[in-house]
Amino acid sequence: MNHIILSETTMYHGTTLRLDLIEPHVAELCFDRRDGPVNKLDRTTFGELSNALAAIRTASHLEGLLVSSARDGFVVGADIYEFAALFALDEDALAARIRGYTAIFTALEDLPLPIVSAINGVALGGGFELALATDYRVMADAARVGLPEVGLGIMPGYGGTVRLPRIAGMACALDWIVSGTQRRADAAPDAGAVDLVVPQDRVRDVALALLREAIAGREDWRARRRRHHQPVVVDPAALEAARLVTARQAAHYPAASAAVELMAKSASASRDAALTLESQAFAAIAKSQAAASLAGLFINDQLLKKKAKNDSAHGRPVGKVAILGAGIMGGGIAYQSALRGTPVIMKDIAQHALDIGMAEAGKLLDKQVAAGRLTQAKADLVKKTITPQLHYDGVDQADLVIEAVVEDQAIKQAVLAEVERHCGPDAVLASNTSSLSITALARGLRRPHNFVGMHFFNPVPAMALVEVIRGPHTSGEAVATTVAYAAAMGKTPIVVQDCPGFLVNRILTAYLLGFAGLIQDGADFEQVDAALEAFGWPMGPAYLQDVIGMDTARHVVEIIAAGYPDRMSAADNPGSLLADAGRLGQKNGLGFYRYETDSKGKARKLAAADTHALLARLQPGGPRTFGAAEIVDRTMLPMLIEAALCMENGVVDSAAELDMALILGLGFPRYLGGPLRYADFLGMHTVVKRCAIYADDGALYRPTARMIEMAAASHTYFA
């Protein structure tokens, strides 16, 4: 057993914090977690904080307290890994647990001596709420503070909605809590949320000097303390503005709206009554679907980062990349690679394509400069690391070669076979294909173990997901090298097994075919889009296909449907009908909708009067009205079934990775958490029951045997 040797000045020492006497009448409460990389607020920390406060209360000689951190950050916030068990409590028990944690912060706030926080780094959520319970806050110039809880589907629960309005005013509190934005040091003092901003290396010294001033009576800390107990002056204009902002998303993301109403309700209450109201409101919001989903997505994201890091350890370093095929896609990949420090050869057979690719990279760099994220000099240096060329010179020096030519199997096979002759023997060869079989593309290659799929989503700079597709002969080292490079580009790589459509487009195809069935049965595509956008999708399936490009969407649907003929059919696909009519969506200004370019160069969606007449060819029964619930079921159930099949077939390693892939690659509604978490929320029994309603609509609605077993046993994908 390890024993901690306590000095004469040590008043308390735990796993996460310690309390030391640093001057005859001054103590320092220092957060210094010994069992993890950062300070966080978990059950252990709260228990030890309570013990430390008890030690302070028994030390009658103390006159001041400094709250600090021995880590690079202050306190990052609550331990989100404890949320699952916490949120599983019933609402009353959850409110009681939160009240207990809040009472510990209140005990800190009520100590009969001045308290100063030295915020040396990140102080977010509960970490900033801890600082708000002290009398003064000194912040490092490189630190960040804030209350970002709404991003997790919850609201501040440890006093943030009570203390911040009383310290900085209602307008500031509404802004910080509703936006959830992290605040830099230059913004925090102006808002009144912190008192001083100083250089990083002086935070503790300045905070200690301020504490001495308060002890000496030259700072009226008692007047500050009284403000914590006084009612909040309501700002009607700020309150109304916050209500307007939060109302737009309240149906799916209720936390921000609930926080606004809570602050309005508790403004006139005493501090303790307001804290009780906050605990109750927190518990109610924590039981929402959005809270479980968004907390789950945070944990999923951490899992993916850990997996990418582990995979990267087994890959080879990528010092140079070659891209075959320029244009918009090639230029986007080249830009992202160069921006993140990996130089690129961009090779094409046509100078015009190279010009487009370089223009795309230049446009993206210009946006970085305009946004202040890059200097012009830095942007120029990045652009110089992209080498456009019509020949293979230097490709043999590339550690990774990405083929990004037209989505045609024969052309890709020819290009891959040709470039392999110019690659180094250990170079990884990757195909940026959205739907073509990696197994088929590998035929004819001399080194299929070095071949992998690397599916970027368009537009490359904006889309975080990269599917890394493992073929039957792909080596683990090739996969790890590709994962490492994707992560170095700032992307989220997810490894999937080769199958028609891989993961995201395979599940998307089931969704689009559900939409096609609705159209064939007489649905109005505009009503379908409206219903699914109200459900939480960023755009409905008709609009989505216009954005993708009708020809591209048709190609993907036909390829993938052909791979699963027992349950998918691309016959009578409305996207194919429109593509045959030359209506390619935003590409040429006409698809399901028509498009005009606005003054900023963006496509503006408008109604196309003749689309309904064209689609009537696919509707032998004529038009029919569908309710929103049926529209949702007819499109979402095929997605849930296809996601279940992907899990059962081992296309992806975990439910977390599948859900994140759909969130990042498709814009699946975040409040649902992904298709598998959504299935868990509904309950598999409900999913199977709803599928039975549409059994006559074909195999697209046939649940798997495993889904039926899960329904009977009340099993879920996530614990």
What are the CA-CA distances from residue 343 to residues 102, 323, 472 (Å)? 51, 11, 30
Listed in sequence order, the residues at least 6 apart from 703 whose beta carbon sits closer than 8 Å to its beta carbon are: 641, 644, 687, 688, 691, 711
- 490-516 average pLDDT score: 97
Taking 50 as the threshold, does the pLDDT of residue 343 lie above it?
Answer: yes
Residue 7: pLDDT band by 50, 70, 90 thresholds?
low
pLDDT tens, residue by residue, 15-35: 999 999 999 999 999 999 998
User: 194 falls in which pLDDT band (50, 70, 90)?
Assistant: very high
CA dihedral 179, 182, 185, 190 (to 10 degrees): 10
Residues 550 and 584: beta-carbon distance below 8 Å: yes
DSSP 602: P
457-494 pLDDT, tens digit per residue, is 989 999 999 999 999 999 999 999 999 999 999 999 99
Q: How far apart are CA 202 and CA 120, in angstroms?
A: 9
| Tokens of residue 177, six digits | 């809590």
Residue 8's pLDDT is 66
Cβ atoms of 436 and 559 within 8 Å: the answer is: yes
Write the CB contacts of 215 (distance below 8 Å, at least 6 apart in sequence): 25, 26, 63, 64, 113, 114
Whether the CA torsion 29, 34, 36, 41 is positive or negative: it is negative
Q: Measuring CA to CA, how many Å separate 628 from each of 224, 290, 523?
A: 53, 20, 11
In terms of Cα–Cα distance, which of 655, 670, 671, 662 is closest to 710? 655
Q: What is the DSSP-derived secondary structure letter of residue 590? A: B
What is residue 414's predicted lDDT score, i.e. its pLDDT? 96
pLDDT above 80 (res 4): no
Model-level pTM? 0.91
Tens digits of residue pLDDT in 58-84: 998 999 999 999 999 999 999 999 998
Residue 652 has pLDDT above 70, yes or no: yes
- pLDDT per residue as tens digits for the range 264-303: 999 999 999 999 999 999 999 999 999 999 999 999 999 9
- Average pLDDT (609-637) is 97
With beta carbons less than 8 A apart as the criterion, state whether 131 and 123 touch.
yes
Per-residue buried b or exposed e for 28-53, using 16+ beta carbons within 10 Å of the residue's own CB: bbbbebeeeebbbbbebbbebbeebb
* All domains of the chain in start order, with CATH: 10-287 (3.90.226.10), 318-497 (3.40.50.720), 504-713 (1.10.1040.50)
2 pLDDT above the threshold of 60: no
- Report how far residue 230's alpha carbon sits from residue 325's, in angstroms, rounded to the nearest whole number: 66
Average pLDDT over residues 677-690: 98
User: For residue 186, what pLDDT band results from cuts at 50, 70 and 90?
Assistant: confident
Cα–Cα distance measured from residue 212 to residue 670, given in angstroms and rounded to the nearest whole number? 48
Find residue 240's DSSP bridge partners.
none
The DSSP annotation for 552-584 comes to: HHHHHHHHHHHH-TTT---TT-HHHHHHHTT--
Q: What is the dihedral of CA 262, 267, 268, 269, to 10 degrees?
A: 60
**Residues 6+ positions from 90 with CB-CB distance below 8 Å:** none
Strand order across the 64-69 sheet: 10-13, 17-23, 26-31, 64-69, 115-119, 136-140, 196-198
Residue with the two structure tokens 């993938």: 560
CA dihedral 52, 58, 64, 70 (to 10 degrees): -20
Scan for tokens 């309904």, then name that residue. 612
pLDDT at position 312 is 81
CA distance 180 to 284: 19
- Residue 1 predicted with pLDDT over 50: no
Strand spans (E) along 392-547: 400-403, 428-431, 451-456, 465-470, 492-497
Confidence of residue 3 (pLDDT cuts 50, 70, 90): very low
Query: Smallest Cα–Cα separation from 127: which of 39, 48, 47?
Result: 39
Beta strands at 196-198 and 136-140: parallel, antiparallel or unpaired: parallel
Amino acid code (one letter) for 345: I
Q: Considering the chain, what is the average pLDDT of its residues?
A: 95
The CA distance from 102 to 279, in Å, is 8
Q: Which is nearest to 198 in space by CA: 136, 153, 246, 108?
A: 136
Q: Does position 241 have pLDDT exceeding 90, yes or no?
A: yes
pLDDT confidence band for 602 (50 / 70 / 90): confident
Degrees to nearest 5, angle at CA 555 with 554 and 560: 100
**pLDDT score at 9:** 87
% residues pLDDT > 70 (the chain): 99
**What is the dihedral angle through the alpha carbons of 534, 537, 543, 549, rounded to the nearest 10 degrees?**
180
Mean pLDDT, rounded, for 138-162: 96
Residue 145's SS3 state is strand
Amino acid at 166: R
Cα(125)–Cα(320) distance, integer angstroms: 41
pLDDT tens digit sequence for 562-589: 999 999 999 999 999 999 999 999 999 9
Cis peptide before 425 (omega within 30 of 0): no
Alpha carbon separation from 567 to 283, 520, 561, 619, 697 (Å, rounded)? 43, 17, 8, 21, 11
Q: Are 58 and 22 in contact (CB under 8 A)?
A: no
Stated as kind and residue range, the H or E segment containing 647 is: helix 628-648
Q: Which residues are known catalytic residues?
A: 455
User: Which residue, chain included where needed, has tokens 């006139």?
Assistant: 268
Of 38-52, 254-268, 304-318, where does mean pLDDT reach its minimum? 304-318
Tokens of 612: 């309904």
Using CA atoms, how far apart are residues 466 and 340, in angstroms rounded to an integer?
A: 15
391: number of CA atoms within 13 Å, CB side?
A: 2
CA distance linking residue 244 with residue 602, whole number of Å: 26
CA distance 487 to 276: 44
Cβ contacts of 618 within 8 Å, gap of 6 or more: 519, 520, 572, 574, 577
Q: Which of 49-58, 312-321, 354-363, 519-528 has the lowest mean pLDDT?
A: 312-321
